Structure 1
Amino acid sequence: MADVRAMCAIGRRGQLGLTGRMPWEGEQAPEYAADVRRFWEMTRGHVLLVGPVTYRSIPAFAHQERTIVEIRSSMQPEEVIARFPDRIVFVGGGPAVWAAYAPLIRIWDITRLPYDGPADRWFDPAWLCGTGG
Protein backbone atom coordinates (compact mmCIF):
# COMPACT_ATOMS: atom_id res chain seq x y z
CA MET A 1 0.00 0.00 0.00
CA ALA A 2 1.31 3.46 -0.87
CA ASP A 3 2.24 5.99 1.80
CA VAL A 4 0.26 9.06 0.69
CA ARG A 5 1.41 12.52 1.71
CA ALA A 6 0.84 16.15 0.80
CA MET A 7 3.41 18.90 0.98
CA CYS A 8 2.54 22.54 0.55
CA ALA A 9 3.39 26.06 1.60
CA ILE A 10 0.81 28.58 2.70
CA GLY A 11 0.84 32.26 3.54
CA ARG A 12 0.07 33.69 6.96
CA ARG A 13 -3.68 33.51 6.37
CA GLY A 14 -3.67 30.23 4.44
CA GLN A 15 -3.01 31.71 1.00
CA LEU A 16 -2.12 29.08 -1.62
CA GLY A 17 -2.41 30.65 -5.04
CA LEU A 18 -2.97 33.75 -7.11
CA THR A 19 -3.84 33.64 -10.82
CA GLY A 20 -2.60 30.07 -11.21
CA ARG A 21 0.70 30.51 -9.37
CA MET A 22 1.97 30.66 -5.83
CA PRO A 23 1.49 34.28 -4.73
CA TRP A 24 5.12 34.54 -3.57
CA GLU A 25 6.59 32.94 -6.70
CA GLY A 26 9.93 34.54 -7.54
CA GLU A 27 10.44 35.84 -4.00
CA GLN A 28 14.16 35.61 -3.16
CA ALA A 29 14.08 35.88 0.65
CA PRO A 30 15.84 32.96 2.39
CA GLU A 31 12.69 31.34 3.79
CA TYR A 32 11.10 31.12 0.34
CA ALA A 33 14.22 29.67 -1.29
CA ALA A 34 14.59 27.17 1.57
CA ASP A 35 10.99 26.02 1.10
CA VAL A 36 11.53 25.31 -2.60
CA ARG A 37 14.79 23.43 -1.93
CA ARG A 38 13.13 21.39 0.79
CA PHE A 39 10.24 20.43 -1.51
CA TRP A 40 12.59 19.08 -4.19
CA GLU A 41 14.72 17.29 -1.59
CA MET A 42 11.77 15.64 0.19
CA THR A 43 10.09 14.42 -3.02
CA ARG A 44 13.30 13.10 -4.65
CA GLY A 45 12.98 9.41 -5.49
CA HIS A 46 9.25 9.35 -4.83
CA VAL A 47 6.02 9.71 -6.79
CA LEU A 48 4.54 13.17 -7.27
CA LEU A 49 0.91 13.42 -8.41
CA VAL A 50 -0.04 16.85 -9.78
CA GLY A 51 -2.77 18.52 -11.76
CA PRO A 52 -2.17 19.82 -15.30
CA VAL A 53 -1.25 23.40 -14.33
CA THR A 54 1.31 22.25 -11.77
CA TYR A 55 2.64 19.60 -14.16
CA ARG A 56 3.42 22.25 -16.79
CA SER A 57 5.31 24.32 -14.20
CA ILE A 58 7.71 21.56 -13.10
CA PRO A 59 11.31 22.13 -14.22
CA ALA A 60 12.98 19.53 -16.45
CA PHE A 61 15.52 18.42 -13.80
CA ALA A 62 12.70 17.30 -11.50
CA HIS A 63 11.47 14.66 -13.95
CA GLN A 64 14.78 12.83 -13.71
CA GLU A 65 14.70 12.51 -9.92
CA ARG A 66 11.11 11.47 -9.21
CA THR A 67 8.11 9.84 -10.88
CA ILE A 68 5.81 12.71 -11.85
CA VAL A 69 2.28 11.84 -12.88
CA GLU A 70 -0.21 14.30 -14.32
CA ILE A 71 -3.64 13.58 -12.90
CA ARG A 72 -7.07 14.66 -14.14
CA SER A 73 -10.42 15.13 -12.43
CA SER A 74 -11.80 12.16 -14.38
CA MET A 75 -9.34 9.80 -12.63
CA GLN A 76 -10.36 7.97 -9.45
CA PRO A 77 -7.89 8.83 -6.65
CA GLU A 78 -7.91 5.28 -5.23
CA GLU A 79 -7.06 3.82 -8.65
CA VAL A 80 -4.23 6.31 -9.21
CA ILE A 81 -2.70 5.60 -5.79
CA ALA A 82 -3.04 1.83 -6.34
CA ARG A 83 -0.63 2.11 -9.28
CA PHE A 84 2.20 2.80 -6.81
CA PRO A 85 2.13 0.09 -4.13
CA ASP A 86 4.84 0.34 -1.47
CA ARG A 87 5.92 3.79 -2.67
CA ILE A 88 5.76 7.20 -1.05
CA VAL A 89 3.29 9.25 -3.07
CA PHE A 90 3.16 13.02 -2.68
CA VAL A 91 -0.03 14.71 -3.79
CA GLY A 92 0.77 18.15 -5.15
CA GLY A 93 -1.15 20.72 -7.04
CA GLY A 94 -3.82 22.92 -5.59
CA PRO A 95 -7.24 22.99 -3.98
CA ALA A 96 -9.03 20.76 -6.49
CA VAL A 97 -6.37 18.06 -6.25
CA TRP A 98 -6.14 18.15 -2.46
CA ALA A 99 -9.92 18.12 -2.10
CA ALA A 100 -10.14 14.96 -4.23
CA TYR A 101 -7.22 13.17 -2.54
CA ALA A 102 -7.72 14.38 1.07
CA PRO A 103 -9.32 11.12 2.29
CA LEU A 104 -6.21 9.21 1.18
CA ILE A 105 -3.55 11.59 2.52
CA ARG A 106 -1.93 10.27 5.70
CA ILE A 107 0.65 13.03 6.31
CA TRP A 108 0.28 16.75 5.64
CA ASP A 109 3.61 18.64 5.58
CA ILE A 110 2.69 22.34 5.64
CA THR A 111 5.15 25.23 5.69
CA ARG A 112 3.82 28.61 6.74
CA LEU A 113 5.61 31.40 4.88
CA PRO A 114 5.65 35.08 5.86
CA TYR A 115 3.54 36.06 2.84
CA ASP A 116 0.51 38.17 3.75
CA GLY A 117 -0.66 39.51 0.40
CA PRO A 118 -3.58 38.75 -1.91
CA ALA A 119 -4.68 35.30 -3.03
CA ASP A 120 -7.49 33.64 -4.92
CA ARG A 121 -6.84 30.11 -3.63
CA TRP A 122 -6.79 29.18 0.05
CA PHE A 123 -5.87 26.18 2.18
CA ASP A 124 -8.97 24.42 3.52
CA PRO A 125 -8.44 22.99 7.04
CA ALA A 126 -11.17 20.40 6.29
CA TRP A 127 -8.62 18.58 4.10
CA LEU A 128 -6.70 17.69 7.26
CA CYS A 129 -9.75 15.71 8.40
CA GLY A 130 -9.88 13.82 5.12
CA THR A 131 -12.79 15.72 3.63
CA GLY A 132 -12.96 17.65 0.40
CA GLY A 133 -14.22 20.80 2.07
Structure 2
Amino acid sequence: MADIRSIIAIGQSGQLGLNGRLPWEGNQGREYKADVARFFDITRGHVLIAGPTTIGAVPDWAYRDRTIFEIRSHMDPEEVLAKFENRIVYVGGGPPVWDVYAPYIQHWDINRLPYDGEADRWFNPEWVVQTK
Protein backbone atom coordinates (compact mmCIF):
# COMPACT_ATOMS: atom_id res chain seq x y z
CA MET A 1 0.00 0.00 0.00
CA ALA A 2 1.19 3.49 -0.79
CA ASP A 3 1.78 6.07 1.95
CA ILE A 4 -0.77 8.75 1.00
CA ARG A 5 -0.13 12.34 2.09
CA SER A 6 -1.16 15.86 1.24
CA ILE A 7 0.85 19.04 1.59
CA ILE A 8 -1.12 22.24 1.25
CA ALA A 9 -1.03 25.91 2.13
CA ILE A 10 -4.05 27.84 3.33
CA GLY A 11 -4.70 31.46 4.20
CA GLN A 12 -5.57 32.72 7.67
CA SER A 13 -9.25 31.89 7.18
CA GLY A 14 -8.69 28.65 5.26
CA GLN A 15 -8.46 30.21 1.80
CA LEU A 16 -7.26 27.81 -0.90
CA GLY A 17 -8.00 29.30 -4.28
CA LEU A 18 -9.19 32.28 -6.28
CA ASN A 19 -10.14 32.09 -9.95
CA GLY A 20 -8.33 28.76 -10.43
CA ARG A 21 -5.07 29.89 -8.81
CA LEU A 22 -3.60 30.29 -5.35
CA PRO A 23 -4.99 33.57 -3.99
CA TRP A 24 -1.49 34.71 -3.01
CA GLU A 25 0.17 33.60 -6.25
CA GLY A 26 2.98 35.93 -7.23
CA ASN A 27 3.44 37.27 -3.71
CA GLN A 28 7.19 37.63 -3.18
CA GLY A 29 7.03 37.70 0.62
CA ARG A 30 9.47 35.48 2.50
CA GLU A 31 6.73 33.18 3.86
CA TYR A 32 5.26 32.56 0.41
CA LYS A 33 8.59 31.84 -1.26
CA ALA A 34 9.55 29.51 1.62
CA ASP A 35 6.25 27.63 1.25
CA VAL A 36 6.85 26.94 -2.45
CA ALA A 37 10.44 25.84 -1.81
CA ARG A 38 9.28 23.58 1.02
CA PHE A 39 6.64 21.97 -1.22
CA PHE A 40 9.20 21.07 -3.88
CA ASP A 41 11.71 19.91 -1.26
CA ILE A 42 9.26 17.63 0.54
CA THR A 43 7.80 16.08 -2.62
CA ARG A 44 11.24 15.44 -4.17
CA GLY A 45 11.73 11.74 -4.92
CA HIS A 46 8.07 10.95 -4.37
CA VAL A 47 4.85 10.86 -6.38
CA LEU A 48 2.62 13.88 -6.92
CA ILE A 49 -0.90 13.20 -8.17
CA ALA A 50 -3.18 16.12 -8.96
CA GLY A 51 -5.78 17.39 -11.36
CA PRO A 52 -4.95 19.09 -14.65
CA THR A 53 -4.94 22.66 -13.29
CA THR A 54 -2.41 21.85 -10.57
CA ILE A 55 -0.29 19.69 -12.88
CA GLY A 56 -0.32 22.53 -15.42
CA ALA A 57 1.28 24.80 -12.80
CA VAL A 58 4.17 22.42 -12.07
CA PRO A 59 7.37 23.80 -13.64
CA ASP A 60 9.20 21.61 -16.17
CA TRP A 61 12.27 21.21 -13.92
CA ALA A 62 10.13 19.53 -11.22
CA TYR A 63 9.49 16.51 -13.45
CA ARG A 64 13.14 15.46 -13.11
CA ASP A 65 13.04 14.53 -9.45
CA ARG A 66 9.50 13.37 -8.73
CA THR A 67 6.86 11.23 -10.44
CA ILE A 68 3.98 13.42 -11.58
CA PHE A 69 0.66 11.83 -12.49
CA GLU A 70 -2.43 13.70 -13.69
CA ILE A 71 -5.71 12.45 -12.29
CA ARG A 72 -9.18 12.94 -13.77
CA SER A 73 -12.64 12.73 -12.24
CA HIS A 74 -13.49 9.47 -14.04
CA MET A 75 -10.51 7.65 -12.48
CA ASP A 76 -11.05 5.35 -9.52
CA PRO A 77 -8.86 6.59 -6.63
CA GLU A 78 -8.03 3.06 -5.45
CA GLU A 79 -6.82 2.12 -8.94
CA VAL A 80 -4.75 5.32 -9.18
CA LEU A 81 -3.13 4.78 -5.78
CA ALA A 82 -2.47 1.09 -6.54
CA LYS A 83 -0.15 2.22 -9.39
CA PHE A 84 2.24 3.60 -6.77
CA GLU A 85 2.39 0.76 -4.25
CA ASN A 86 5.15 1.15 -1.64
CA ARG A 87 5.71 4.80 -2.61
CA ILE A 88 4.94 8.05 -0.85
CA VAL A 89 2.15 9.73 -2.81
CA TYR A 90 1.27 13.40 -2.33
CA VAL A 91 -2.25 14.36 -3.36
CA GLY A 92 -2.37 17.90 -4.71
CA GLY A 93 -5.12 19.94 -6.20
CA GLY A 94 -8.12 21.62 -4.73
CA PRO A 95 -11.48 20.83 -3.18
CA PRO A 96 -12.72 18.54 -5.98
CA VAL A 97 -9.60 16.37 -5.60
CA TRP A 98 -9.62 16.32 -1.81
CA ASP A 99 -13.35 15.55 -1.76
CA VAL A 100 -12.46 12.24 -3.46
CA TYR A 101 -9.00 11.46 -2.05
CA ALA A 102 -9.35 12.69 1.56
CA PRO A 103 -10.42 9.29 2.93
CA TYR A 104 -7.13 7.80 1.67
CA ILE A 105 -4.81 10.52 3.00
CA GLN A 106 -2.94 9.35 6.08
CA HIS A 107 -0.96 12.54 6.75
CA TRP A 108 -1.98 16.16 6.20
CA ASP A 109 0.81 18.76 6.15
CA ILE A 110 -1.00 22.10 6.33
CA ASN A 111 0.91 25.38 6.27
CA ARG A 112 -1.04 28.51 7.22
CA LEU A 113 0.20 31.56 5.34
CA PRO A 114 -0.35 35.20 6.38
CA TYR A 115 -2.82 35.76 3.50
CA ASP A 116 -6.17 37.09 4.70
CA GLY A 117 -7.83 38.22 1.48
CA GLU A 118 -10.35 37.12 -1.08
CA ALA A 119 -10.94 33.48 -2.10
CA ASP A 120 -13.48 31.30 -3.85
CA ARG A 121 -12.13 27.93 -2.63
CA TRP A 122 -11.75 27.03 1.03
CA PHE A 123 -10.16 24.30 3.11
CA ASN A 124 -12.72 21.86 4.52
CA PRO A 125 -11.64 20.60 7.99
CA GLU A 126 -13.81 17.50 7.47
CA TRP A 127 -11.23 16.22 4.97
CA VAL A 128 -8.74 15.47 7.73
CA VAL A 129 -11.09 13.17 9.64
CA GLN A 130 -12.40 11.10 6.73
CA THR A 131 -11.08 7.57 6.59
CA LYS A 132 -11.44 4.69 4.20
Partner of 2:118: 118
Q: Is residue 15 of structure 2 the alignment partner of residue 15 of structure 1?
A: yes
Partner of 1:108: 108
How many residues are paired up? 131
Partner of 2:49: 49
Shift of 1:3: 0.2
Partner of 2:97: 97
CA distance in 2, matches of 1:4, 1:46: 11
Partner of 1:66: 66
TM-score, normalised to structure 2, is: 0.98
Shift of 1:88: 0.1
Segments of structure 1 that go 5 or more residues without pairing to the other structure are none
Partner of 1:5: 5
* Secondary structure, aligned partner of 1:100: helix
% identical equivalent positions = 63
Q: Which runs of 4+ in 1 moved over 6 A?
A: none
TM-score, normalised to structure 1, is: 0.97
Shift of 1:15: 0.1
- 1:53-111 deviations in Å (ceiling 9; x for gaps): 11111100011110000000000111100011100000001110011000100000000
Amino acid at match of 2:44: R
Shift of 1:115: 0.2
Amino acid at match of 1:81: L
CA distance in 1, matches of 2:46, 2:114: 28
CA distance in 2, matches of 1:114, 1:15: 11
Q: Is residue 43 of structure 2 the alignment partner of residue 40 of structure 1?
A: no
RMSD of the alignment, in Å? 0.7
CA distance in 1, matches of 2:8, 2:127: 12
Amino acid at match of 1:27: N
* Secondary structure, aligned partner of 1:42: helix
